[in-house]
Structures are given as structure tokens and as C-alpha cells.
Amino acid sequence: LDSFSFFQRGGAEEFMRFFATTIAERTQVGERQGVTQENYVGYVYRSHPRLSVVAITDKEYPEMVAIDLVTKVTREFEQQFGEQQIAQATAGLSFPVLQDYISKYQDPHQANTILKVQQELDETKAVLHKTIEGVLERGEKLDSLVDRSNQLSNQSKMFYKTAKKTNSCCIVM
């Protein structure tokens, strides 16, 4: 909600609650899914008839990371409270670890090791492309130097032959 102005937050919060509730109710137990609404995607995992975890992200956020987030939060919540306590809950249960997950998953590349490795590979690939381009440019320069060297060699041979012909008429003693 921080990305919305003060005056928009109330409406945005209401929309997010309605959206989260709707997709959670329409998701079958044991199912994970992503639902797109305008520029946002709601990812939901319903592991229990009374437990659904929903993450609402923008469209650019990687789906794999969002699904990983809702799955990990669900698992940890189930471990902390257990099936019986979840089934008997009549009000929300306090889960302070959620804030840690929200902080960690702000940057999807840091939260997901696969994306982090992919980002490092992309960076390495970019460096390699620059290096290869530099080598190719140097190779072109070397080819140019070899061509010039061959031309000089041919010219010097021609000069030698011409000089030999010119000097053949004269004998120096």
C-alpha cells in the first residue's frame, strides 16, 4: 500500500481485500494459482479449508517467486500453529514472521536463488560478449596489420627486383 498516495490507500486496500478474499474462496484446497486483475496478479495457495495465503503483486513480479512465497508462508504458518489450531481459529492468528517474508521478497532476485543465479549468469554473459567483441576487434586489427605487412613485403620485393635490375647495368668495383 505504500506505493499509493494517502488518499488512494483506502480504496486500494479495499480492492486488495476483496480481490484476495474472492480468489481465496474460489481456489480449491491443495491448489495454487495466479489470477490477473488489470496490472496486478494475485497468487494464492489454499492448503486447508480455513487457510489460504494470498500475495498480490504487479505483473512484472516473477510468478515462480510469488508461488514460492505463498508456499513457504503457508508451510511455516502450518508448522507454527498446526492443523487443529487452524481448524478451530475464529479470528486471525498473529504471525509476525510474515513481515520478514515481505521484506525478503521485495527483491525477487535476492529471495529466489534460481533468479539470483540467472541474474549472475546474465551479467557474466554480458561481460563475455564485451570481451569477445574486443577480441574480434583486435582480430580485425591483427588481420589488417598482417595485410599491411604482406603489402610491405611485396613492395619491398618489388623494390629489390627493381633496384637489382637498375643496378645490374652498373658494376661497382
Which residues fall within 8 angstroms of residue 108, CB to CB, at 6 or more apart? 61, 62, 65, 115
Burial class (CB in 10 A: 0-12, 13-18, 19+), 16: middle
Q: Is the CB of residue 77 less than 8 Å from the CB of residue 69? A: no
Rounded Cα distance, 95 and 102, in Å: 12
Q: Is the pLDDT of residue 173 over 60?
A: no
- Region 79-95: mean pLDDT is 79
pLDDT tens digits, 15-64:
888 888 888 888 899 888 888 888 889 999 998 888 888 888 888 888 88
Model pLDDT, residue 44: 92
Relative orientation angle of helices 63-88 and 113-168, to the nearest 10 degrees = 170
Q: Is the CB of residue 56 less than 8 Å from the CB of residue 16? A: yes
* Among 68, 26, 74, CA closest to 47: 74
pLDDT tens digits, 125-162:
888 888 888 777 777 777 888 888 888 888 888 888 88
Q: Is the pLDDT of residue 1 over 70?
A: no
Beta bridge partners of 54: 44
User: What cell does 149 get?
Assistant: 605487412
Query: What's this model's pTM, rounded to 2 decimal places?
Result: 0.59
Which residues fall within 8 angstroms of residue 95, CB to CB, at 6 or more apart? 77, 80
Model pLDDT, residue 155: 86
Beta bridge partners of 90: none
